[in-house]
Structure 1
Amino acid sequence: MSFSSFPIIDLKADRSTIVQSLLNACSTTGFFYLRNHNLHGAQERMFSLAEAYFRLPLAIKEQHFITPEDRGYIRVGQENLDSANIKQIDEKEAFNIYTSDKSDQLPVLFAQPNNYKLISDFQRACYDLCMELLMYLADSFEIDRDYFTSRHKWGPDSADKLRLLHYPATQKKIANAEHQSIRAGAHSDYGSITLLFQHNQKGGLEVLDRLTNIWHPIEPYEDMIVVNFGDIFEYWSNGFIKSAVHRVVMPVEHLTGSNERFSIAYFGFPNHTTLLSPILSKVIADRAFEKDEHAKHVLVHNNERIITAGEHLRMRLNKTYKY
């Protein structure tokens, strides 16, 4: 299994196949496609709602401006996911909705009963899917099946987040400068596991092979979710699972037509008080955690200090936003 061909995990396959495929994916690419997830209809309705929101006037969207708690609207140029390049800005807008958010905390459009139910049901379906994958992953590490799920409890302490994303159309030419092709800077996700929904066959997502420093495209397939692992699993696995570094660029083929892009991400994250100590698994027994440059930048440098998931999240957010 290599970056030239990303694995496809079919949830209708037998358990042993899924378990082995997950172990292979997490120890190589950190990215995989997920087939037969049963969320296709819901994701289409969510994309319609997201598009309606991002078409609203900026003044209305900014009524729910991003807070230090990471909730709300992020305007174009406010976020820099590539914290190693402080001069770069991301050419996108987004809205973050946490699973604990109530309707009166959200914009009027999202608070409408039918839309709020759609959002809530979609969040719960994404959470349940993440928990299913985490149980399979525990099987692959030969530890208790509830090891990971018990650290991702649904409720007021949940840090799980739904993110609606919009990359506005642009007329920039890639040939002018390399940095102009970047729509979302190179980064790894802060949590444990991410579900990404792509739309209208609009590509641009790329993942970095951290060994060769080569970028590889992740093609968009609307019938399959893209799944990747985040920083939390690099802590938990002593570096056996690499937090997948990815970015969004402007593909050359999109310069001549409409290059507007929408996507939706669901970020699974452990409860805030969860310790990021290595799991006790024979798969990673006696493994030394040797951090590469990316790990040194985004994770705690001192291997002897065990931090909580909440501490890690705050550290990453402080490098990302201008409030």
Structure 2
Amino acid sequence: MSFSSLPIIDLKADESIIIQAMLNACSTTGFFYLRNHNLLDAQEHMFKLAKEFFRLPSNIKEQYGITEENYGYVRRGQENLAGNETKSIDEKEAFNIRNLVQPNELPSLMAQSDNYEIITKFQNDCYDLCMKLLTYLAQSFDIDSDYFTSKHKRELKSAGTLRLLHYPAVKNYSDESIRAGAHSDYGSLTLLFQHLHQSGLEVLDRSTNTWYPVEPYDDMIVVNFGDVFEYWSKGFIKSTVHRVTMPIVDSTKENERFSIAYFCHPNDSALLTPVPSKLILNREFEKDEHAKLALHDNNQNTLTAGEHFQMRINKTYTY
């Protein structure tokens, strides 16, 4: 299985086929497309709402600035996902919405009853979809089917986040222009919804240090694994490194981009200890350069999901 042609998992397939496909995807590319997820209409409502929000004047959006708990508005140039010491910034703006958010925590546009209902239903549907995928994944590891879902209880505190993203149009950009720096996600699973065939997402094959485009399809979600699974699997599952670059189009054309990400995280108290699976029983966790940078425990201390998230987020933002 190659990064040049990412696997497609169809949720209408037989369960045994899905389980095997999950194992193949997590052990190879760590990125896959998900078909027949039943969120097509919901994602269109969310994109409409996101566009309305990002069209608001800056002074209104900045009233809801990002907090140290990672919720709120991220202005253009505030984030450096690559987490390095350079002055590079990400050419985007975003709005992070926490799980179980209350209307009084949101901008008035999102707090309107119809919009709030759209947001909370979309969050719940994304959560339910992730739980379904985690159940299949546990079965592929031949462990209790609720092993992963039991660490993602909806009512307990986690860093789970729904993120609306806007990449403003850029003029006079070069092929090297970066909209979101190279990074891995901090949690367990990420659902990414792309819009109107707007390209730019790329995934890194960490074994060859080669970047591959992740083509956008409106009818399929892109799913990827995060840092938590690299811990849990002793590196059997790689936390996929990805970035967003400028699309390869005529530079005189419109290149504005919207996307939506749902970041699924375990409960903050969940331990990042290896899963009890025969697949990894005798595996040695040999970290490559990215893992040495992103996974902080040096195999000496057991972290919780909350501790790992805080370590990663501290390198990302200026408040």
Instruction: Report the TM-score range of the alignment, normalised by the length of the smaller protein.
Output: over 0.9
Within-5 A mapping of 1:172-187: 172-174=172-174, 178=176, 181-187=177-183
Q: Percent identity?
A: 66
Name the structure 1 match of 2:286: 290
Name the structure 2 match of 1:309: 305
1:155: Cα distance to partner? Answer: 1.4
Letter paired with 2:276:
L
Letter paired with 1:205:
L
Name the structure 1 match of 2:102: 102
Separation in 1, partners of 2:11, 2:248: 34
Superposition TM-score, scaled by structure 2 size: 0.98
CA contact (8 A) 1:276 1:306 kept: yes
Q: Which ranges of structure 1 fall in alignment gaps of 5 or more residues? A: none
Aligned partner of residue 252 in structure 1, secondary structure = coil
CA contact (8 A) 1:79 1:321 kept: yes
Structure 1 outlier segments of 4+, above 3 Å:
none
Name the structure 2 match of 1:148: 148
Aligned partner of residue 315 in structure 2, secondary structure = helix
The partner residue of 1:204 within 193, 200, 219 is 200
Residues 293/61 of structure 1: CA separation in 2 closer, same or farther (3 Å cut) = same
1:172: Cα distance to partner? Answer: 2.6
1:64: Cα distance to partner? Answer: 0.4
The partner residue of 1:231 within 227, 230, 246 is 227
Name the structure 1 match of 2:8: 8
Residue correspondences, number? 319
CA contact (8 A) 1:196 1:266 kept: yes
Letter paired with 1:26:
C
CA contact (8 A) 1:207 1:218 kept: yes
Deviations 1:14-67 (A, max 9, x none): 011101111110011100000000000000000000000000000000010000
Q: Which ranges of structure 2 fall in alignment gaps of 5 or more residues? A: none
CA contact (8 A) 1:174 1:252 kept: no
Superposition TM-score, scaled by structure 1 size: 0.97
Name the structure 1 match of 2:185: 189
Name the structure 2 match of 1:167: 167
Name the structure 2 match of 1:92: 92
Deviations 1:95-121 (A, max 9, x none): 000112210011000000000000000
Name the structure 2 match of 1:129: 129
Separation in 2, partners of 1:4, 1:142: 29
Name the structure 2 match of 1:240: 236
Separation in 2, partners of 1:41, 1:85: 41
Q: Give the superposed CA RMSD.
A: 0.9
Separation in 2, partners of 1:50, 1:9: 27
